Amino acid sequence: MPNAIAYSLFTEFDINLFKAGKHYRLYEKFGSHITTVNNVEGTYFAVWAPSAKSVSVIGDFNFWQETEHKLNVRWDGSGIWEGFIPNIGKGTIYKYKIRSSHNNVTTEKADPFARRCEHPPRTASEVWSDNYDWQDKSWMKNRKKNNALDAPYSVYEVHLGSWKKQIEEHRFLSYRELAEDLVDYVEEMNFTHVEFMPIMEYPYDPSWGYQLTGYFAPTARFGYPDDFKYLVDTFHKKGIGVILDWVPSHFPSDDHGLGYFDGSHLYEHPDRRKGYHQDWKSLIFNYGRNEIKAFLISNAIYWLDQFHIDGLRVDAVASMLFLDYSREAGQWEPNKYGGREYLEAIDFIKEMNTEVYASFPDVQTIAEESTSFSKVSRPIYDGGLGFGMKWMMGWMHDTLGYFKKEPIYRQHHQNDLTFSLNYAFTENFMLPLSHDEVVYGKKSIVGKMPGDEWQRFANLRLLYSFMFTHPGTKLLFQGGEFGQTSEWDFQGSLDWHLLDYDIHKGVQQLVKDLNTFYRKEPALFQKQFSYEGFEWLDHGDHQNSVLSYFRKGENEADNVIVVLNLTPVPREKYRIGLPKAGNLKLVFNSDDKKYFGTGNYKNNKLKSEELKWNNRENSLELNLPPLGMLAFKYK
């Protein structure tokens, strides 16, 4: 049979943009594309392999023989091999067999731009196309408002493989099944957004999806690409945004993946000090190479463009920013200025955010970044990295550390809770209680809490109440919303049977109501990234372990006063200073009986007195429930 027919989707302009690292829609050109040439239907293939001396498309259709369908190298020095193969179409299984001009190495690789991959553990690519009919016009038209930084933004983090299993058949739920069960649940729980741990194709389940081989393919574990679009579409029709975890920081060294692609260090940096992650035993992209920047930015754009995704949570940003990340002296080389910053990676991040927001100004990028690197969520023109938000890892660490302590010791550690407000407005922070906090012996969130069963769950309710009234957007990992007692198991399913018990149903109801409270009270979100939206009433009562503060919106009438009693000792006739005189009304009580609280500590007389307290002219006596949060508004 003849070699692939000479044919190209690339224009000279495409090639120049690709070489310059400025082509951000490479998925429209690379990979496999079903088309018609000379009135014959078939598939066009294009792959980047500049160190190859030959590239063949192999698959079932040619008995995996490399002599059958060899691609043609372009004459322009781009390193692109391409060609049209007639009479093969959707569903065709294939790989690229690449003979390298370096050391006579031969590799068999999956297509880096494949839109569908075989179900793991099989590793080939699949020719694919779909013409999904989107039904989310209303959401897309209005999502700028729903994704705005002054809007409520409460995220339910989900690992699709372990949220719920099909019990009888002990299998994953499909994208289509999740479009029923998961969408209805997220809507019932009143979250504004859902975030999926990586759904791009990955070979190894214990990686949780964070080591990718198919950057452009939704994993086949749960169905087809159009099924995943249906899932996103269904969320949108319910008014719920969809965020994807995205991993441009590293990739695995599996034989069929991107590593040593054409017999050379094509995607990974050739210097292991920049090209190999010692912690994760994975490879690091060569951010200084133009074509790699174009590949990664095209991938980010692809999910926003083709799948209507509303945000990208970018994984392991800290590992990209610093040359010495998790390396000892002598294992890294300073940049040209003698510093530890990875300048090429920083430039890539800025370029990625610039293009994302230029093309999709109504989405958000969110950095999982654990260091004190400045201006992560500040505009690039202001010297920032250009992310929309950043995870507030310090808040998470300090808050969980505080809540783990027996209440008798909390009086000595109140600063653990108050310290976050010293820097809360230096970034657009998201408060995460993520999957990383409930694995590897860290226990579940409720498992970290001290005391007897009632106290542990009261502590959990108090933690969530503090989280939802603290400045910043919110993220909660699956299972936390009903007090999952065991650590997260990626192979299993959430322990839904726990909802047979009132104490777990109480936590679930609390989270549902906190989401509603957050969404309906402008003071909790309008100025969530501004110091103007927060003021302490009293952060100094260490002895009683009580905190009080108020959240402020655009209108003074929307302001919310919050009081936390962080011990199991009720505080009756506890006086707090007030910002002004007036009558108050209780708008939230984490100790309500419907949450499995005591429901015993009433506050019926909520009229201020002209009695100076906490340097304020007016004050009020309250009955504070044990391990409880009360929130008030002026009538």
Asked if residue 59 lies in contact with residue 110, where contact means CB atoms within 8 angstroms, the answer is: no
Q: What angle do CA 64, 68, 73 make, to 5 degrees?
A: 110
Share of the chain above pLDDT 70, in %: 100
Q: Which helix (H) or strand (E) holds 231?
A: helix 225-237
The Cα-based distances of 305 to 301, 302, 363, 621 in angstroms read: 6, 5, 11, 55
Q: Check whether the bond before 522 is cis (ω within 30° of 0).
A: no
What secondary structure letter does DSSP report for 539?
E
Average pLDDT for residues 195-202, to the nearest whole number? 98
List active site positions: 315, 368
Residues 325, 445 within the same domain = yes
Residue 176 falls within a domain, yes or no?
yes
Residues 248, 281 within the same domain = yes
Residues 464, 576 within the same domain = no
Q: Which pLDDT belongs to residue 102?
A: 79
Asked if residue 109 lies in contact with residue 96, where contact means CB atoms within 8 angstroms, the answer is: yes
Helical axes 225-237 vs 137-146, angle rounded to 10°: 60
Pinpoint the alpha helices (H) of 2-157. Answer: 12-20, 137-146
User: What digits encode the pLDDT tens for the residues 114-145?
Assistant: 999 999 999 999 999 999 999 999 999 999 99
Residues 469, 566 within the same domain = no
CA 414 to chain centre: 30
Per-chain mean pLDDT for the chain: 96
Residue 145 falls within a domain, yes or no?
no
Predicted confidence band of residue 169 (pLDDT cuts 50, 70, 90): confident
Residues 321, 469 within the same domain = yes
Q: What CATH number is associated with residue 271?
A: 3.20.20.80
User: What digits encode the pLDDT tens for the residues 598-634?
Assistant: 999 999 889 999 999 999 999 999 999 999 999 999 9
Residue 574 belongs to domain spanning? 531-634
Asked if residue 390 lies in contact with residue 365, where contact means CB atoms within 8 angstroms, the answer is: no
Using the structure block, give the residue that is written with the tokens 């995220």: 155
Structure tokens of 224? 């087809």
Predicted confidence band of residue 19 (pLDDT cuts 50, 70, 90): very high
Residues 412, 556 within the same domain = no
Residues 549, 434 within the same domain = no
Query: Based on the structure, what is the number of domains in the chain?
Result: 3
Asked if residue 427 lies in contact with residue 378, where contact means CB atoms within 8 angstroms, the answer is: yes
Strands 80-86 and 93-100: unpaired
Residue 596 falls within a domain, yes or no?
yes
Residues 462, 405 within the same domain = yes
Pinpoint the alpha helices (H) of 470-572. Answer: 502-520
Structure tokens of 558? 């929307």
CA 152/CA 145 separation, integer angstroms = 10
Q: Which helix (H) or strand (E) holds 185?
A: helix 175-188
Residues 513, 586 within the same domain = no
Residues 178, 324 within the same domain = yes
**pTM of the shown model:** 0.96
Phi, psi of 277 (to 5 degrees): -90, 115
Q: Which pLDDT belongs to residue 104?
A: 84
Classify the C-alpha dihedral 73-79-80-81 as positive or negative: positive
Residue 131 falls within a domain, yes or no?
no
Residues 294, 401 within the same domain = yes
103 or 33, which is more confident? 33
Q: Strands, E, within 149-191: which ranges?
A: 154-158, 165-166, 171-172
The number of beta carbons lying within 10 Å of the beta carbon of residue 591 is: 24
Question: Which of 524, 540, 561 is a domain's end point?
Answer: 524
For the purposes of burial, counting CB atoms within 10 Å of the CB of 343, is it exposed (0-12), middle (13-18) or buried (19 or more)? middle
Asked if residue 210 lies in contact with residue 217, where contact means CB atoms within 8 angstroms, the answer is: no
The Cα-based distances of 24 to 89, 250, 350, 546 in angstroms read: 26, 20, 14, 52
Phi, psi of 634 (to 5 degrees): -75, 140
Residues 563, 486 within the same domain = no
Helical axes 290-306 vs 12-20, angle rounded to 10°: 110
Question: Which of 524, 557, 586 is a domain's end point?
Answer: 524
User: What digits encode the pLDDT tens for the residues 477-535?
Assistant: 999 999 999 999 999 999 999 999 999 999 999 999 999 999 999 999 999 999 999 99
- The closest alpha carbon to 290, from 83, 97, 79, belongs to 79
Q: What CATH number is associated with residue 95?
A: 2.60.40.10
Burial letters 303-332, b for 16+ CB under 10 A, else e: bbbbbbbbbbbbbbbbbbbbbbbebeeeeb
User: What digits encode the pLDDT tens for the residues 424-481?
Assistant: 999 999 999 999 999 999 999 999 999 999 999 999 999 999 999 999 999 999 999 9
Classify the C-alpha dihedral 320-325-330-335 as positive or negative: positive
The number of beta carbons lying within 10 Å of the beta carbon of residue 535 is: 14
Q: Which pLDDT belongs to residue 2?
A: 62
Q: Which pLDDT belongs to residue 1?
A: 46
- The closest alpha carbon to 437, from 450, 424, 448, belongs to 448
- 449 in the Ramachandran plot: left (φ > 0), alpha (ψ -120 to 50) or beta? beta
CA 370/CA 608 separation, integer angstroms = 43
CA 148/CA 242 separation, integer angstroms = 14
Question: Which of 66, 93, 126 is a domain's end point?
Answer: 126
Beta bridge mates, 41: 36
Round the CA-based radius of gyration of the chain to a whole number and report it: 27
Residue 355 falls within a domain, yes or no?
yes
